[in-house]
């Protein structure tokens, strides 16, 4: 049986590494990419996990995440990464103790910084998803969708992968737009696309294969050329699985920053009743 000495020993080892960085070289896979040929925003969590496992092993802390769960992650995207491109991930241990490990990541392609991330893992004890109240709340009416966790969406710990959770939330936004009459085809016709520029994800209770989930999504911040959706994921028993603030930038089909169609934004803020269809 493990004793309480092991976490303290690991904490001291990790603290000794906190001032050091290591670069892990990865290659973006075809399966990581979306229809545009870019690494999907959610898959940066998979790249970060791969860099974590390789980097900590190289720093002599291979077992640092044994028994730990991802509690929180922040992601910021700067430019797209394409299939098969080499990604250099600069990993740094920011802090570690018996309860948690905090890591930071810089992603580079060809010497250009393409993304940044921070993650916090907790050792032992239940996770409680929590995000601060929005600083400026646009008052969007919630959209609700449902999802049943598939067997291929869970990882070796039998819990839903964080990448899968972010993909559910991405899909929830498209479902919300469709419910108020803004299909992908209509968006293309208006020369409009949303580019994901960031996430702040906080995780709580585990979701496992077969769990029925309720996803509530609403616009909490709308600016001239950007917006933020807040997503809340709960199991059928009411346990909070995840909270996420999903940040998007508004572009035209040529990639130029532009305001979103005002008719669409008004409809999304008004909620599913704005379509005149049953909720």
Q: Which domains does the chain have, with CATH numbers?
A: 1-125 (3.10.129.10), 127-279 (3.10.129.10)
Mean pLDDT over each residue of the chain, to the nearest integer: 91
For 110-136, b where at least 16 C-beta lie within 10 A, e where not — what string?
A: eeeebbbbbbbbbbeeebebeeeeeee
Q: What is the number of other CB atoms lying within 10 angstroms of the CB of residue 142? A: 15
Alpha-helical segments (H) within 161-221: 162-179, 184-189
| Confidence tier at 273 by pLDDT (50, 70, 90) | confident
- The tens digit of pLDDT for each residue in 211-270 reads 999 999 999 999 999 999 999 999 999 999 999 999 999 999 999 999 999 999 999 999
Looking at residue 15, what is its pLDDT?
A: 60
Looking at residue 85, what is its pLDDT?
A: 96
3-state secondary structure of 60: coil
Looking at residue 163, what is its pLDDT?
A: 97
Looking at residue 275, what is its pLDDT?
A: 53
Contact 140, 232 (CB under 8 A): no
| Confidence tier at 125 by pLDDT (50, 70, 90) | confident
Average pLDDT over residues 9-32: 77
Does the pLDDT at position 96 exceed 90? no
| Confidence tier at 1 by pLDDT (50, 70, 90) | very low
Looking at residue 145, what is its pLDDT?
A: 97
- The tens digit of pLDDT for each residue in 60-74 reads 888 888 889 999 999
Looking at residue 170, what is its pLDDT?
A: 96
Does the pLDDT at position 81 exceed 90? yes
* pLDDT over 90, % of the chain: 81
Q: What pTM, to 2 d.p., does this model score?
A: 0.91
Contact 198, 249 (CB under 8 A): no
């Amino acid at each position: 049986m493990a004793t309480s000495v092991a976490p303290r020993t690991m904490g001291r080892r990790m603290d000794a590494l906190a001032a050091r960085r290591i670069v892990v070289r990865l290659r973006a896979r075809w399966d990581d990419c979306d229809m545009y040929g870019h690494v999907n925003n959610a898959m940066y969590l998979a790249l970060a996990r791969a860099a974590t496992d390789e980097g900590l092993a190289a720093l002599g802390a291979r077992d640092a995440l044994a028994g730990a769960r991802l509690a929180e992650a922040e992601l910021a995207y700067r430019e797209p990464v394409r299939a098969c491109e080499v990604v250099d991930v600069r990993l740094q241990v920011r802090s570690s103790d018996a309860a948690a490990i905090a890591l930071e990541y810089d992603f580079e392609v060809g010497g250009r910084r393409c993304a940044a991330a921070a993650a916090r893992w907790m050792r032992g004890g239940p996770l409680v998803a929590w995000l601060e109240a929005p600083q400026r709340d646009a008052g969007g009416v919630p959209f609700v969708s449902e999802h049943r966790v598939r067997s291929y969406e869970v990882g070796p710990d039998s819990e839903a992968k964080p990448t899968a959770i972010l993909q559910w939330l991405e899909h929830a936004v498209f479902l919300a737009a469709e419910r108020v009459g803004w299909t992908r085809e209509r968006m293309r016709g208006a020369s409009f696309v949303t580019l994901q520029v960031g996430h702040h994800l906080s995780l709580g209770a585990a979701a496992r294969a077969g769990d029925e989930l309720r996803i509530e999504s609403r616009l909490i911040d709308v600016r001239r050329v950007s917006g933020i959706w807040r997503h809340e994921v709960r199991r059928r028993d009411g346990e909070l699985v995840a909270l996420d603030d999903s940040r998007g930038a508004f572009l035209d089909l040529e990639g130029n920053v532009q305001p979103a169609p005002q008719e669409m934004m008004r409809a999304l803020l008004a909620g599913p009743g704005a379509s005149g269809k049953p909720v």
